[in-house]
Chain A
Amino acid sequence: MSEMVLTTEGDRYVVVTRRFAASPELLYRAHTEPALIQKWLLGPDGWTMPVCISEVRRGGPIRYEWKDGKGGGFYLTGEYLELVPFSKIVHIERMHLPEPTPDNHVETRFETDNGGTLMTMRMTLPNAKTRAAMLATGMEHGMEASYARLEKML
């Protein structure tokens, strides 16, 4: 397990870096193959992704649908802009909450690092309205779940 670092770059971008004990090829596959994406891109505990479309070609569509297990959920659509196996994925995505949020431009890079992989993901910092919509949907449940877990621990 490795420490994830999340920072802002200027006032427009969020940059996330993390190291993994696997090759860039496996990282690339886990980010592009639906059966693999559905296992980890889930956010808070209890969420699932019953629908995952990822057509790995330039202009190929992306669609992720999440369910919170309590009747709630939301979906995301997007397109691949650039794919360089196994080092770079550029795509745009928008969440439907249910109004579509402005396009988020995401660039994900995988570099060999000490026998593993350094991942760097750069995405657009969403505007205030989008952030509020995100907090009001799934991620807030995530916080509630986290607080509930914290209470149990205390």
Chain B
Amino acid sequence: MELADPFEMTQPAVSRHLKVLEDAGLIARRVDGAKRPRRLDTAGIKAIEQWLAVMHKALAKNYDRLDDVLADLKRTTSRGERP
């Protein structure tokens, strides 16, 4: 409820936004009676950075290999063949 106060949004709408952030691992929620206090999940934020770094590495490697595949294709198609 307190998190919804500053926004011109209904409380259920704010809850949906919070759910997105929670699923993304950016905030964490605990139960305190009827309250559901949230906090920033710094481990989750670090995990995203780690995932992006791993993804960057894997994709960059793929595309470096693709450069070679394209170079081969260029050679074979210029000779009128298909590999």
Q: Which of A's residues lie within 8 Å of B, judged by CB?
A: 1-2, 4, 6, 8, 11, 14, 16, 18, 20-22, 26-27, 29-30, 35-36, 39-45, 125-128, 131-132, 134-135, 139-140, 142-143, 146
CA distance A22 to B54 in the complex (A): 27
Given A8-B52, A131-B48, A26–B73 Cβ distance below 8 Å?
yes
Contacts of A142 in B (CB 8 A): 54, 57-58, 61
**What is the size category of the interface that chain B forms with chain A?**
20 to 34
* B65 nearest CB neighbor, chain A only: A40
Asked whether B33 is an interface residue with its Cβ less than 8 Å from the other chain, the reply is: no
Q: Which of B's residues lie within 8 Å of A, judged by CB?
A: 20-21, 23-26, 44, 47-48, 50-52, 54-71, 73-74, 77, 83
Question: Chain A's nearest CB lies how many Å from the CB of B13?
Answer: 16
- Is the CB–CB distance between B63 and A4 below 8 Å? yes
CA distance A6 to B48 in the complex (A): 13
Question: Main secondary structure on chain B at its contact with chain A?
Answer: helix
Given A11-B24, A127-B23, A131-B51, A1–B64 Cβ distance below 8 Å?
yes
Contacts of A41 in B (CB 8 A): 62
Question: Chain A's nearest CB lies how many Å from the CB of B17?
Answer: 10
In the complex, 13 of the A-B residue pairs with CB atoms within 8 angstroms, ordered by the A residue number, are A4-B59, A4-B63, A11-B26, A18-B63, A22-B71, A26-B77, A29-B73, A39-B69, A42-B65, A126-B51, A131-B47, A134-B54, A142-B61
Question: Chain A's nearest CB lies how many Å from the CB of B76?
Answer: 10
Contacts of A43 in B (CB 8 A): 58, 61-62
- Is the CB–CB distance between B63 and A131 below 8 Å? no
CA distance A42 to B62 in the complex (A): 6
> Which 3 pairs, one residue from A and one from B, show the smallest C-beta to C-beta distance?
A128-B25, A40-B65, A22-B70
Question: Chain A's nearest CB lies how many Å from the CB of B16?
Answer: 14
Given A14-B55, A42-B62, A20–B67 Cβ distance below 8 Å?
yes
